[in-house]
């Protein structure tokens, strides 16, 4: 018995001592293999024989091959200089860890790029241009361990009149937050693909109110009973999430080959009316004039959507409701007038649905990226993030850490859209504990994920499928 206890103690000693006894791994630019880059010395403060410069074209890349005696989780720190915020593409052992470097125009600065996973023995790290131009002095890998699990979040909805079904769903999400990630898809075809490959059924089923937008119906669009499909999905046990690609209420350009003021040629057809480039609708001006025809059209559209949400309410279905998504990207018209006007529109939508239409089955999910755009805790129940990483296996640990800094212990965080399938086992090893994920559809859906990876993810104990806890 004493021998067994001693053995356990010896095995636990590295964890008890922490990572301080393991030396960091430093990769200098002059030690890497440079492709279409130069080893420069004009900028002061570099280490080694020079720094890597010339990340101006798509083929610029630096590659390091190094040995790691201790596998595990490391913090990756980039020592760099950049005139402005610059995106980079980082690949470690064929896993993507893309991110953005903050501006550091004068001296070399150190940026913590988040957690990465180091393998035993040989490792290959590549750093490519991404969409920026910057200089790289070195990369340091510091033994750390995964991020701590998120703090518990109270299962309390902002709406004091929330339905029992909505409260029960919120409680279910809160109980599993940090314990497991609910899987999700958007369309029935995506669900069927997952089932055929993995034998598992995604828990979350998504839908889009896009075709109910009046300015689309005017052109003959057909919603094809999208709401009824989601009611049936809920009856089959799925958690329902609904978003709305809101076609602008009016002022659609409706030209297939439209030339913008900047000279860019775009498709501004009516069916792309949710994009900023396809409409001249000024919703901020409409909000300024509540007695205007434009404001009346905003209300008309909201009321049409309320009718669909009421069908779900009548069926006892709570909804993870995700309107006005990706606003800070500004590619949708509801983000084209800046953060303050987005907040005004969000609050109008919230008030109209909650108070005027008495819809209390909604769990309001705000798609977050830039905190300046956040509408406020009193009108948001959950935080969502959308991601379409260049490499589908990117664990998105940086996006998770960003959201956690603002919302840990306050709001649950979900991966509301992802191109491909969230690699939940890898994400959780690094410390990302999304409440749920929802794969996008078609070429950006589960079919984008290799079948072996899809099985590994959906059959993992880290995920919660239909029929799970």
pLDDT value at residue 392: 86
Q: Is this structure's pTM higher than 0.85?
A: yes
Tell me the average pLDDT of the chain.
94
Same domain, 96 and 222: no
- 149 falls within a domain: no
Same domain, 131 and 274: no
Per DSSP, the three-state class of 33 is: strand
pLDDT tens digits, residue range 183-211?
999 999 999 999 999 999 999 999 999 99
Cβ count within 10 A of residue 442: 11
Separation CA 433–CA 417 (nearest Å): 15
CATH of the domain at 63: 2.60.120.260
Same domain, 115 and 237: no
The enclosing H or E element of 128 equals strand 121-128
3-state secondary structure of 455: helix
326 is catalytic: yes
Q: Kindly state whether residues 126 and 200 are assigned to the same domain.
A: no
* Same domain for 126 and 226: no
Q: Are 136 and 187 part of one and the same domain?
A: no
252 is a domain residue: yes
Judge if 309 and 364 occupy the same domain: yes
User: Which CATH number belongs to the domain containing residue 215 in this structure?
Assistant: 3.20.20.80
- Specify whether the CB–CB gap between 440 and 186 falls below 8 A: yes
469 pLDDT band (50/70/90 cuts)?
Answer: low
CB burial of residue 446 (10 Å; 0-12, 13-18, 19+): buried
Coil, strand or helix at 1: coil
| pLDDT class of 58 with cuts at 50, 70, 90 | confident
Q: CA neighbours within 13 Å on the CB side: how many for 298?
A: 26
Buried b / exposed e over 146-178, threshold 16 CB at 10 Å, is: bbeebeebebebbbeebbebbbebbebbbebbb
Identify the domain containing residue 53 by its residue range. Answer: 18-143
Of 28, 22, 143, 132, residue with least CA distance to 78: 28
Nearest to residue 23, comparing CAs of 90, 77, 76, 68? 68
Asked if residue 8 belongs to a domain, the reply is no
Q: Which one of the listed residues 61, 117, 308, 417 is annotated catalytic?
A: 417
Predicted confidence at residue 2, as pLDDT, reads 36
Residues 124 and 213 in one domain: no
354/430 same-domain check: yes
Give the end of a domain, one of 114, 143, 172. 143
Is residue 159 included in any domain, yes or no? no
Query: pLDDT category, 22, cuts 50, 70, 90?
Result: confident
Q: Give the relative orientation of helices 226-235 and 293-314 as an angle to the nearest 10 degrees.
A: 30
Residues 112 and 185 in one domain: no
Q: How many structural domains is the chain composed of?
A: 2
Which of 61, 89, 117, 326 does the annotation list as catalytic?
Answer: 326
Higher pLDDT, 106 or 418: 418
Boundary (domain end) residue, out of 113, 143, 173: 143
Is there a domain that residue 150 lies in? no
CB-count burial class (<10 Å; 0-12, 13-18, 19+) for 133: middle
Task: Give the model confidence (pLDDT) of 269-303 as tens digits.
Answer: 999 999 999 999 999 999 999 999 999 999 999 99
Same domain, 346 and 451: yes
pLDDT tens-place string over residues 365-417: 999 999 999 999 999 999 999 999 999 899 999 999 999 999 999 999 999 99
**Residue 331 within any structural domain of the chain:** yes
Q: Is residue 119 part of a domain?
A: yes
The answer to whether residue 230 scores a pLDDT higher than 70 is yes
Secondary structure of residue 402 in the 3-state scheme: helix
Which residues are bridge partners to 87 per DSSP?
100
Q: Are residues 117 and 202 in the same domain?
A: no
| Nearest by Cα to 144 from 71, 75, 69 | 75
The DSSP code sequence of 18-69 is -STTSPPEEEEGGGSEEES-EEE--STT--TT-EEE-TTSTT-EEEEEEEES
Measured between alpha carbons, how far is 221 from 168 in angstroms, rounded to an integer?
35
**Strand, coil or helix: what is 278?**
helix
> Does residue 236 belong to any structural domain of this protein?
yes
Contacts of 22 (CB under 8 A, 6+ apart): 70, 143
Taking residues 302-318, what's their average pLDDT? 98
Question: Rounded distance, CA 446 to CA 187, Å?
Answer: 10
């Amino acid at each position: 018995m004493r021998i067994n206890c001693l053995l356990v103690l010896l095995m636990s000693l590295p964890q008890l001592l922490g990572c301080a006894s393991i030396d960091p791994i430093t990769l200098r630019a002059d030690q890497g293999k440079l492709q279409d880059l130069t080893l420069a010395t004009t900028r002061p403060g570099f280490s080694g024989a020079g720094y890597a410069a010339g990340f101006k074209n798509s083929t610029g890349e630096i590659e390091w091959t190094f040995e790691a005696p201790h596998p595990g989780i490391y913090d990756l720190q980039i020592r760099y200089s950049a005139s402005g915020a610059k995106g980079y593409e980082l690949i470690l052992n064929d896993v993507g860890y893309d991110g953005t470097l903050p501006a550091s125009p004068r001296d070399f600065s150190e940026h913590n790029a988040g957690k990465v996973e180091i393998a035993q023995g040989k490792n290959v790290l590549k750093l490519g241009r991404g969409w920026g131009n910057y200089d790289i002095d070195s990369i340091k890998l510091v033994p750390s361990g995964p991020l701590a699990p998120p703090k518990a979040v109270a299962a309390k909805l902002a709406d004091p009149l929330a339905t029992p079904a909505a409260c029960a769903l919120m409680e279910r999400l809160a109980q599993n937050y940090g314990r497991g990630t609910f899987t999700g898809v958007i369309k029935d075809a995506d669900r069927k693909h997952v089932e055929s490959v993995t034998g598992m059924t995604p828990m979350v089923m998504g839908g889009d109110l896009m075709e109910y937008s009046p300015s689309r119906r005017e052109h003959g669009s057909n919603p094809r009973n999208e709401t009824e499909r989601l009611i049936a999905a809920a009856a089959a046990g799925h958690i329902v999430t609904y978003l709305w690609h809101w076609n602008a209420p009016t002022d659609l350009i409706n030209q297939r080959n439209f030339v913008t003021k900047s000279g860019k040629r775009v498709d501004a057809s009516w069916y792309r009316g949710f994009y900023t480039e396809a409409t001249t609708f000024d919703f901020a001006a409409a909000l300024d004039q509540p007695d205007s025809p434009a404001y009346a059209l905003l209300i008309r559209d909201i009321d049409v959507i309320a009718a669909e949400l009421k069908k779900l309410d009548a069926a006892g279905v709570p909804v993870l409701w995700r309107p006005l998504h990706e606003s800070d990207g500004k590619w949708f018209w509801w983000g084209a007038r800046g953060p303050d006007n987005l907040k005004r529109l969000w609050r109008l939508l919230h008030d109209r649905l909650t108070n005027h239409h008495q819809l209390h089955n909604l769990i309001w999910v705000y798609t977050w990226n830039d905190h300046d755009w956040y509408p406020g805790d009193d009108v948001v129940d959950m935080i969502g993030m959308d991601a379409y990483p260049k490499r589908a296996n990117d664990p998105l640990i940086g996006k998770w850490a960003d959201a956690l800094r603002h919302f840990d212990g306050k709001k649950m965080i979900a991966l509301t859209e992802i191109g491909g399938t969230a690699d939940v086992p890898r994400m959780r090893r690094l410390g990302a504990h999304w409440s749920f994920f929802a794969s996008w559809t078609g070429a950006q859906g589960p079919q984008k994920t290799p079948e072996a990876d899809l099985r590994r993810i959906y059959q993992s104990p880290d995920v919660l499928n239909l029929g799970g806890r």
